[in-house]
Structure 1
Amino acid sequence: MIEELKHISAEMNAILPLFLEGNSVTGLFLPTGPSAKFKALAIEAKSILDEELGRLNNYSTGLMNAASSGSQSFIGGPSYATVEEASELVLAGARAVSRKYNRATVSDNPQNSRSYVHQDRISALIAINESAWDFRRLVELCRELNVVAANRCHLSTAMLLRTILNHVPPVLGCETFDQVANNYGGPKKDKSFKEIMQRLQGTIRKIADMHLHSPIRDREDVPTAVQVDFASELDVLLGEVIRVGGSGKGTK
């Protein structure tokens, strides 16, 4: 829509050289063909602006006022000044639409939002220098998880959580996250840790798989933030990954 408005503004500007010299009474005037094109462009621009900014937006109102006042004052359609003003109003409207979309663009840190992954965990992963593992992808997964969770993208939150579960087991000496949940540290060690991991394995993986693999149905249900809130369990997992992976214990 923004590019369409810019194109309309440019087309209006292209009409300006088509004005002809009249007499001392009429001054510059626009022939019938270009005048009709200008009116069509103005209506098209108004339709786009109304759709994007609402019917009572200032740009549409100003555009129609400019067009109507020009056509009443000059023979043969809009005045030269009217076309100039309309072109600038359409361009200003395009900037307003652009600002609207920019405000709606996802942000890494929306105001008043709690980070799904605490920044301390991400900083600790970045700070690991000597390790058998490259944590750059894990850092990016955590960063993107914060973005989607903060912007209420709950399906993406579940899918990124599942990806992290698939990504980290080798750091903990396991091939799969199922092994982390059931065997990490041996059968009698780290019982509390394993119970937390079992919640991740038994719940978030199933939630993510349900949304990833379900075909479309006649009626759908989408997840809420409550359904994908495993931030505390993930924090425990990342803490252990940092402890082991940053201590030189992790091996390839």
Structure 2
Amino acid sequence: MVDELIGIADEMEDLLPLFVGGGSMSGLILPTSHSATFKALAIETKSILDQELGHANDYSLNLLHAVNAGAGGFSGGPSYASVEEASKIVRAAVRAIERKRRTQAAAPPLAKSYVDPTRIVALLAIGKGPLDFARLGELCREINVAASNRCHLSTAMLLRTIINHVPPVFGFSTFAEVANSYGGAKAQKSFKASMQRLEGSLRNIADMHLHSPIRPQEDVPTAVQVDFAADLDVLLGEIIRVSGAGNG
């Protein structure tokens, strides 16, 4: 798009030497065929600018003003000044687009959610029943807020809260029972492996940060240390499945 706009600005400037004298009352005028070219260039420019910068952006509005400020606007042909001004507006718009792209390139990519939003929607869709999933949905929402803001201590603590919160869904009172006994000794081995990582590694990391007193030197967690998103997703998926929300 930038190259196209630069080309349009060049074409507009190429029209300037084509103005001819129109008599003492008319000043310089652009012959009809070239006026039509200018009109087409201006329309094409506005379309590109609206696409790149949004409708009613400053450059499109000023371009229209420049075009219509000539003698009669499009109907009577543009003035020399309006063509010159229009070409400069197009070049200014090019610089604005380039600045916008540099800013976007410099911005960090949006991080993916720690908990997939569809899981939260599904939890809340379970509604009222033997168990209320509103608090679990809120814990998941808050994990996304904490993780997106690099609050890794909070992420670990919220994860630990979740695994303490959900055992009744599976008919147990502790998450250790879920990790070791849910589905029987041989069933759902993949699920058990994920739950045992949550009960073992996650709980140890969270407890370390929750219960350690202040020390002369500390080590704060990183995103890598508290990344149990995949195992949490397995847990949430099973909660949704056994609670009926995933069965349509």
TM-score band, normalised by shorter chain? 0.5 to 0.7
1:193 corresponding residue in structure 2: 191
* Cα distance change on mapping 1:111 and 1:138 into 2, 3 Å: farther
What SS does the corresponding residue of 1:113 show, helix, strand or coil?
Answer: coil
Tell me the C-alpha RMSD between the 2 structures: 1.7
Name the CA distance, whole Å, in 2 between partners of 1:239 and 1:233: 10
2:209 corresponding residue in structure 1: 211
Q: Shift in Å at residue 173 of structure 1?
A: 1.1
CA contact (8 A) 1:132 1:245 kept: no
1:33 corresponding residue in structure 2: none
1:114 corresponding residue in structure 2: 112
Q: Shift in Å at residue 132 of structure 1?
A: 1.4
Which letter does structure 2 place at the counterpart of 1:191? K
CA contact (8 A) 1:125 1:242 kept: yes
Structure 1 stretches (4+) deviating beyond 4 angstroms?
none
Residues 77-105 of structure 1: CA deviation (Å, up to 9, x unaligned): xxxxxxxxxxxxxxxxxxxxxxxxxxxxx
Name the CA distance, whole Å, in 2 between partners of 1:131 and 1:187: 29
Matched, 1:148 2:146: yes
Listed as ranges, the gaps of 5+ residues in structure 2 are 1-107
Name the CA distance, whole Å, in 1 between partners of 2:245 and 2:124: 14
Q: Shift in Å at residue 231 of structure 1?
A: 0.3
Count of matched residue pairs: 139
2:133 corresponding residue in structure 1: 135
Q: Shift in Å at residue 164 of structure 1?
A: 0.1
Name the CA distance, whole Å, in 1 between partners of 2:128 and 2:162: 21
Structure with max Cα Rg: 2
1:238 corresponding residue in structure 2: 236
Which letter does structure 2 place at the counterpart of 1:209? D
Q: Which has the higher contact order (CA 8 A, sep 6+)?
A: 1
What SS does the corresponding residue of 2:112 show, helix, strand or coil?
Answer: coil
Name the CA distance, whole Å, in 1 between partners of 2:129 and 2:244: 6
What SS does the corresponding residue of 1:223 show, helix, strand or coil?
Answer: coil
Residues 146-165 of structure 1: CA deviation (Å, up to 9, x unaligned): 00000000000000000000
1:166 corresponding residue in structure 2: 164
Percentage of identical aligned residues: 70
Residues 163-215 of structure 1: CA deviation (Å, up to 9, x unaligned): 00000010011110000100001111111110110011110100000000000
What SS does the corresponding residue of 1:192 show, helix, strand or coil?
Answer: helix
Q: Shift in Å at residue 111 of structure 1?
A: 6.8
* 1:1-252 → structure 2 map (5 Å cutoff): 112-129=110-127, 131-246=129-244
Name the CA distance, whole Å, in 1 between partners of 2:245 and 2:138: 21
* Cα distance change on mapping 1:247 and 1:185 into 2, 3 Å: farther
CA contact (8 A) 2:178 2:195 kept: yes
Q: Shift in Å at residue 129 of structure 1?
A: 3.0
Name the CA distance, whole Å, in 2 between partners of 1:140 and 1:167: 12
What SS does the corresponding residue of 1:131 show, helix, strand or coil?
Answer: coil
CA contact (8 A) 1:197 1:237 kept: yes
TM-score for both structures, normalised by structure 1: 0.53
CA contact (8 A) 1:133 1:245 kept: no
What SS does the corresponding residue of 2:144 show, helix, strand or coil?
Answer: helix
Name the CA distance, whole Å, in 2 between partners of 1:236 and 1:208: 19
Which letter does structure 2 place at the counterpart of 1:224? T
Name the CA distance, whole Å, in 2 between partners of 1:218 and 1:127: 48
Listed as ranges, the gaps of 5+ residues in structure 1 are 1-109
